[in-house]
Each structure stands twice: as structure tokens, then as C-alpha cells.
Amino acid sequence: MIRSALSVVCVLALTVSTRGADEAKGAKATHTVYDAYFEKNTSGFKGDATYIALTSKEGFEKVFAARPPLGAKKPVMLAVDVFDKHFVAVVVKRGPAITTYTVEAVTLDKDGIVYVQYKAAAGVAGTANFASPLIVSVAKEGAKKVVFIENGKAVGTSDVK
């Protein structure tokens, strides 16, 4: 009896552990990652994370402001006309550590879903609170929805309006 129960538990554990991770689907989409912005205190967003698609300069400027250049690296800034043909897919992680991102794939499937797949790693926690944004521009044409895939798991969606 005990052997049967252990066998069932082992089979279930293997089934759960071999479940595939979420992955970006569709054709690769041209994108640009922007690292020169911070979330304003007046953005209105709260909680541990925000996942959103912004389609206008006005909407973007309500949420983000340019940060001063840090070090010798030239910051990547949004072009003045970026929202004419693009939208920005945004993730903001909030908490006691700075989160760094590595974009793995940005794709567009035939149903109009844009997948933004990335790795997120939180730094060492401290006493301050941080809002760490990932900002990625993608062409608007054909895009209806964004799915955010963080560390192999779908964590949020947003409509592209």
C-alpha cells in the first residue's frame, strides 16, 4: 500500500516538474529596449508589479521621466515620433531591491499577440524602495495584446489600444 502511494506521488512529481515553461510564439519582432527612464511617484501605479502597453507620448510621459545619465554609457531614449508606428510594452517591478532585465525574445503571432520574454533578477534587498522598469518598443501594426513572460512564466497581459 505504501509503495503504491509513493509510486503515485513520484509520478505526479515528475509530471509537474517536466511541465514546459511558457515561451514566446510567432515571428521575431523588431524591438528596442530603453534604459533611460524612471517611474514617476505620481504614475498612479501601485503594487509589486505593473504590466502595461502604452500607445501615446502623453500616456508615457504621465508614467515616466528621463533619468540623468549615469556613467559613460549613453542612455537609449525614445525617439520623438516613436508612438507614430510603435507602442511600448512596460514592466515595472517594485520592492526593496533593484531588478535588472535581460530581454530574451520579442515576437508577434498570427493572432496579434506580442510576446515579451525576459529574465528578471532582483538585486540585494535594502531599506529603500525601488521601481525598476523594463521598457520595450514594438511596431503597432498587427498588435492587439501583449503577453509578458518572466523567467519562463507568463506573468501579465495588456491590450494594445
pLDDT tens for each residue of the chain, 161 residues long: 444 433 433 434 433 444 457 999 999 999 999 999 999 999 999 999 999 999 999 999 999 999 877 776 788 899 999 999 999 999 999 999 999 999 999 999 999 999 999 999 999 999 999 999 999 999 999 999 999 999 999 999 999 99
What pLDDT score does 21 carry?
A: 76
Q: Which set of grid coordinates corresponds to residue 73?
A: 554609457
Using alpha carbons, list the distances in angstroms from residue 84 to 3, 59, 112, 146. 64, 13, 18, 18
Q: In what order do the strands lie in the sheet with 27-28?
A: 27-28, 99-108, 113-122, 145-150, 153-159
* CB contact set of 161 (below 8 Å; sequence gap of 6+): 53, 55
Q: In this structure, are residues 148 and 157 in contact, taking their beta carbons and an 8 Å threshold?
A: yes
Q: In this structure, are residues 138 and 89 in contact, taking their beta carbons and an 8 Å threshold?
A: yes
Locate cell 502597453: which residue? 53
